[in-house]
Amino acid sequence: MRLAYLPVIAAFSFMVQTAQAFEVEEHYVHRGLGDEVLRIISTADAAAFNPIITAFQQQYPSVTVDYTIASSAQVFHALYNEGAVFDLAISSAMDLQTKLANDGFVLTYESEVTETLPSWAKWRDQLFAFTQEPAVMVVSEDDFVDRRIPMSREELITMLRENPETFDGRIGTYDVRISGAGYLFATQDSRNTDSYWRLTEVMGRLNARLYSGSQGMIKDVAEGRLALAYNVVGSYAKSQLATTPGIRIVEFDDYLSVMLRTALIPKTAENVARAGDMIDFLSRLNEREDVIAQTNLPPINALELENNSASRVIRLGPGLLVFLDRMKKETFLRSWENSMEQK
């Protein structure tokens, strides 16, 4: 059964932004055969999530899926400050999702399916992880033809210091002031290694270019504007690998931060039943090899993490709230700006 897939034109997005203070990047309506609507706000781009919606509608053909894409910071703002009406919120920013749950903006959901998730893949029956995505480095093969690719942060620091003429202005990383995922990865780096601040200082001296998301970094590496991009979301890099010649994904062997993409049901939800059905569908993503192949989203797999000693899962829970404390965040960002020489 083929359901209609309709991108919503920019004028509609403008009207959404006018009615709400949060910023919408893209908006799509996947038409079902009935009048029921499931409204989702998400950080996942259309290419990654469209196959999931299509597979979900094969099980629930009567449901129209209204899909809004926004940055992780804007997803949080929409729910926390605007009280926007959505049935499901999906985000890569685990800390912001945790704060929504901790501060009472999320409904509890339980099912036989969610009970099968590992304990580290859910929190208080309010946050549910459905992917495990490492933060990786993406490099341009042209810039590493005769140069050994660094496999640790210490090796990366050494390489950058010894080759300023090659890497000046050609390093990409997140602007952690505006990227929720970037801020999450940066704070986890600062916890995991003393090398983080030295690496940040080196990148700052080499005039690193700052981005709001992974896609722009990967594109600029592929097109030769960057030699490397640091802390890119691995699933986005993998999805472009097959169609983007000249790039390579590097998983560091000192440690590998693994982000959990999570789903939650906002307290403003109007279609809680179908939101629960989608959470169950996402929780069984590891059973859908066809969908995994189309999305390149790695599903929850405890065994895979156990087999990679470098993997460090970012844990759901109140520990993620530490760097959301206003004073701690201001201090962190001030230190980051000083290291990156950003004002």
**CATH number of the structural domain spanning residue 204:** 3.40.190.10
Q: Which stretches of the chain score pLDDT less than 50?
A: 1-19, 343
Distance CA 65, CA 311 (A): 34
Q: Are residues 336 and 236 in the same domain?
A: yes
Q: Are residues 159 and 222 in the same domain?
A: yes
Distance CA 243, CA 226 (A): 18
| pLDDT for the residue numbered 20 | 54
Distance CA 25, CA 2 (A): 26
Distance CA 313, CA 248 (A): 23
Q: Are residues 73 and 125 in the same domain?
A: yes
Q: Are residues 85 and 233 in the same domain?
A: no
Q: Are residues 311 and 327 in the same domain?
A: no
Q: What are phi and psi of 319, to 5 degrees?
A: -60, -25
Range of the structural domain that residue 294 is part of:
5-132+260-316
Q: Are residues 189 and 253 in the same domain?
A: yes
Q: Are residues 250 and 332 in the same domain?
A: yes
Q: Are residues 121 and 266 in the same domain?
A: yes
Q: Are residues 52 and 92 in the same domain?
A: yes
| pLDDT for the residue numbered 150 | 97
| pLDDT for the residue numbered 48 | 87
User: How do residues 218-233 score in pLDDT, each as one tens digit?
Assistant: 999 999 999 999 999 9
Q: Are residues 121 and 159 in the same domain?
A: no
| pLDDT for the residue numbered 13 | 38
The set of residues, in sequence order, having a beta carbon less than 8 Å from that of 204 and lying 6+ positions away, is: 339, 340, 341, 342
The domain tally of the chain equals 2
| pLDDT for the residue numbered 302 | 86
